[in-house]
Amino acid sequence: MACSQLVFFLTLSCLLVAAVEIQKPRGVPLTNRHFYEESKPFTCLDGTKTISFDRVNDDYCDCKDGSDEPGTSACPNGNFFCANTGYKAQFIPSSRVNDGICDCCDTTDEYNSGAVCENTCKELGRKERESLEKIREITREGFLLKQQLIEEAKKSREEKQRTLGELQESKKGKEEQVEALRTVKETAEQPEKEARERHLKAWEEQKEGLRVEKEKAKMAEVFLELDDDADGLVSVSELQTHVELDPDSDGTLSDTEAQELLGGSTQVDTAAFQNTVWNNIKDKYKSESQHEGLAPPPEESRDPSLDNESDSHYPDEDGGEEEEDDDDEEDDEDHEDDDKAPPVGRPSEKAEEEEPAMPPYDEETQALIDAAQKARDDFNEAEKGLREVEDQIKSLEKEISFDFGPSAEFSYLYNQCYELTTGEYIYRLCPFNRVSQKSKYGGSETNLGSWGLWAGPEDKKYSVMKYEHGTGCWQGPNRSTVVKLTCGKETTVVSTTEPSRCEYLMEFTTPAICQEPQHPDLFPHDEF
């Protein structure tokens, strides 16, 4: 029985000793323990002074760097090491040692303050491990997705390279086809051009003949109109009945002026009128019907009330003007468009005969035109097809040459867009293209920047995207956006902020940024 009790007390003593952390000296990590050997004097870590070891942690600061008081609050620049077994080791300012507040989860900073502290390192470590395990699980799944993305990107790139080769071969064939059809088109257009020119020339000659005939008829009509006595001659006196022919516009066509218009003769026959007189008067001459249109209305038909404008309104008894009748207002409305009609006596443009339309092409010319048009259509269609292939080649070459990461893991983001809706705005990120912002309540879209470059640090270049040269701010710089990429199983915009005016920060999760998870010791310690 006595032996059993002895074993029990020895075991309990060992457990109690194990529960109490013994640090010599207190507040020093294991990596620096060799500087603190009780068997020899202590030299300040900055090398400025050497003191006896019994002055270490004596609550008096001897070293300028505070290295002689790692376990007390004597030195304002000292640091106390918390071993925090089971959790993360840490340094705290020595001013917090024995201040009545538990800063180290293992309670070692309050060894002489009387504060009652509970060792929470084990619980904190458990929670931290759970949190880190969740992150590690996300990273692990994200990394597996990244491997799939890399494999898909590799296949997609090979397929695009194959398609590009086919398009380039197709381009050669289409270029040859375009050149062949160009020759066919040019060959067909030459006879078409000549036939069109012949047709047009014949039409111009026909029109000229019609014009001459029309001019002769007009001249004959005017001659008969001027020949008042129908003697087959136009005399000076007969010409003087048309004062609009007065050359000096003084309102009178004198004998001399009329004779000059008649080519120096007192009278002319039809032949002389055509050869000498007609060209001198045809632009000014007005027919009898035009003269009648310009004549004032007969005296008996004139409204006397219009002779004096001042009589158009009469003052009423109150001295004001009489109100106009409603009928007058309606009459005004009826004649609202009168000013659009040609004035009385002035010939309307519509009265002039329109130029006759060109007659249709003959069958031979039309056949040449149809053949040339078909050649043009075939050529244009082939040229359109060539342009489409060239555009596809250009687009593929651009995509293939893009920097999508070390293993093209970001290529799946190309031509995709992702949105985030906040309280007021809808943010839209189109990787490798642009970032935009639009109000939820309507309005136009604001460009927050176009793709610029990968802007992460040297060892993590592909962790940050930079979008530049967006819409300019009012009296400020052009908008720009930095996109920080974080590991995640989903591809989504997580948040958007504006830390500086017109400079936006966006967080974007994607499996493409995930790295292979490591398995280091979560809480390495140098204290036991």
Q: How far apart are CA 399 and CA 393, in angstroms?
A: 10
pLDDT confidence of 65, banded at 50, 70, 90?
very high
Residue 319 confidence (pLDDT) above 80: no
Phi, psi of 446 (to 5 degrees): -110, 125
pLDDT at position 407 is 94
Q: Say how many C-beta atoms besides its own lie within 10 A of residue 333's C-beta.
A: 9
516: Cβ contacts below 8 Å, ≥ 6 apart: 143
Q: What is the mean pLDDT of residues 352-369?
A: 86
Residues of the chain above pLDDT 90, percent: 57
Q: What is the pLDDT of residue 292?
A: 60
Identify which has the larger pLDDT, 176 or 243.
Answer: 176
- Does the structure show a pLDDT above 80 at 220? yes
Predicted local distance difference test score (pLDDT) of residue 347: 46
CA-CA distances (angstroms) from residue 356 to 204, 212, 250, 302? 11, 14, 39, 42
Q: Taking residues 136-147, what's their average pLDDT?
A: 91
**Nearest CA among 508, 466, 462 for reference residue 487:** 508
Q: What percent of the chain has pLDDT over 70?
A: 81
Q: How confident is the model at residue 66, as a pLDDT?
A: 92
pLDDT tens-digit map of 231-258: 889 888 888 888 888 888 887 888 888 8
Segment 427-485, tens digit of pLDDT: 999 999 999 999 998 889 999 999 999 999 999 999 999 999 999 998 889 999 999 99
E strand map for 32-129: 42-43, 50-51, 79-82, 90-93
Q: Which residues pair with 464 in a beta bridge?
A: 484
Residues 157-282: name the CATH superfamily.
Answer: EF-hand (1.10.238.10)
At 367-379, the pLDDT tens digits run: 999 999 999 999 9
By CB neighbour count within 10 A (0-12 exposed, 13-18 middle, 19+ buried), where does 105 fall? buried
Separation of alpha carbons 472 and 254, rounded Å? 79
pLDDT recorded at residue 351: 44
pTM over 0.85: no
pLDDT band at residue 45 under the 50/70/90 scheme: very high
pLDDT of 203 strictly over 80: yes
Mean pLDDT of 319-348: 45
- The pLDDT value recorded for residue 293 is 56
Where helices occur in 227-241 by DSSP H, the ranges are 236-239
What is the arithmetic mean of pLDDT over 199-222? 91
On the question of pLDDT at 524 being above 80, the answer is: no
- Mean pLDDT within 387-407: 94
Instruction: Let me know: does 472 contact 478? Beta carbons within 8 Å.
Output: yes
CATH topology for 411-510 is: Cation-dependent Mannose-6-phosphate Receptor; Chain A (2.70.130)
Residue 195: the pLDDT is 95
Q: Which residues pair with 42 in a beta bridge?
A: 51
Q: How do the domains of the chain map onto residue ranges?
A: 21-118, 157-282, 411-510
Average pLDDT over residues 32-52: 92
The answer to whether 449 and 480 are in contact (CB under 8 A) is yes
pLDDT value at 312 more than 70: no
Contact 160, 385 (CB under 8 A): no
